Amino acid sequence: MGVEIRVEGLTKAFGRQTIWQDVSLTVPAGEISVLLGPSGTGKSVFLKSLVGLLKPDRGHIWIGDRDLPYLPEHQLYETRKLFGVLFQDGALFGSMNLYDNIAFPLREHTKKSESDIRRVVMEKMDMVGLLGSENKLPGEISGGMKKRAGLARALVLDPEILLVDEPDSGLDPVRTALLNQLFIDLNAQINATFLIVTHDINTARTIPDNIGMLYRRELVMFGPREMLLSSEEPVVRQFLNARRAGPIGMSEEKDVSELEAESKMGLDVGTLPPIQPQLMPSDGRIRAAQHAPGAWCAAHGVTPPPGSFVDDLGRNWVEEWPRYVASQQAAAMHGGQPGHPGGAQY
């Protein structure tokens, strides 16, 4: 399952502003790839081009044997059905409850009966841990829940390719970690090709199989996670170390003399930290834990606050998560078994 995306010599400009040029990469089928890059380097423009919302000036985007920028309108419409897209804010309709938001693509693009639509919507809401929130309006839920609702909507047409634009924007580190784990679990479950655009270094370090980086109108590199995480490329090292000094500047447009002066000064962009283990798909208990309210809340007559993750032992996974991830990582580094969330190892 999942479809490869092959990009060849892609170039995009708005007027006289070239956003990126000659970008070539292959996003492998069924894997998770992350595209990193400083603000304004055109990551969102890249995602929109991949799904046909923006037309590149030159180059090709091969989805199987279809070259997306050159498809006639009706074929583009059909090809777009292969994609699910999660935009930064979830792009939910404010006047519709979550159920209708998630049902929307099914009502627009399929002839399914309302009972079939209900089955699919509830399945996807279950996948992202939103069962029980069907009647809530977007204005009544947290940022994390909005993202998960947007994710459920992106999944309803069973996409072969899932594009995600800055899933971490506006989320605290714990919710970002939870969402990252959800991506890993979903990828294991549905096997689609995932491409995630992010600034978040921790996301880039822990979830993808492949990482690419856009900088100064070029794709600096794209390849297996370890290749980028151990790269000696100053741009990559500065970005991964979040250093002020280095080729990336505020304007992102330092001129050649400035760059030469900096390189003569031998600016230190830091040694790279050790490569963290990649997150593994969680077991069923973690997924169940994400499904608030859970049996425990029902048994205790407690309504969990929106966006909380309370499992059937009453543990709040917003608090438990960092401990669980740390135990997984420590175990992976030492070659042992990660602490089972149901056990007493952590």
Phi, psi angle pair for 216, to nearest 5°: 50, 55
Least distance (Å) from ligand ATP to the CB of residue 5?
Answer: 17
Least distance (Å) from ligand ATP to the CB of residue 88?
Answer: 8
Cβ closest to ligand ATP, residue 41 vs residue 327: 41
Least distance (Å) from ligand ATP to the CB of residue 12?
Answer: 8
Point out which residues bind ligand ATP (CB under 6 A): 14, 19, 37, 39-45, 199
Distance of alpha carbon 44 from alpha carbon 53, whole angstroms: 11
Distance of alpha carbon 151 from alpha carbon 164, whole angstroms: 9
Distance of alpha carbon 202 from alpha carbon 124, whole angstroms: 26
The residue among 120, 117, 126 whose CA lies nearest residue 148 is 126
Cβ closest to ligand ATP, residue 44 vs residue 241: 44
Least distance (Å) from ligand ATP to the CB of residue 38?
Answer: 7
Least distance (Å) from ligand ATP to the CB of residue 233?
Answer: 18
Least distance (Å) from ligand ATP to the CB of residue 232?
Answer: 24
Cβ closest to ligand ATP, residue 133 vs residue 203: 203
Contact 235, 248 (CB under 8 A): yes
Contact 94, 102 (CB under 8 A): no
Q: What secondary structure does DSSP assign to 307-330, as a single string?
A: T--B-TT--BHHHHHHHHHHHHHH
C-alpha distances out from residue 162 to 99, 127, 150, 180, 330, Å? 20, 15, 12, 14, 30
Cβ closest to ligand ATP, residue 44 vs residue 191: 44
Cβ closest to ligand ATP, residue 133 vs residue 198: 198
Cβ closest to ligand ATP, residue 54 vs residue 331: 54
Contact 40, 87 (CB under 8 A): no
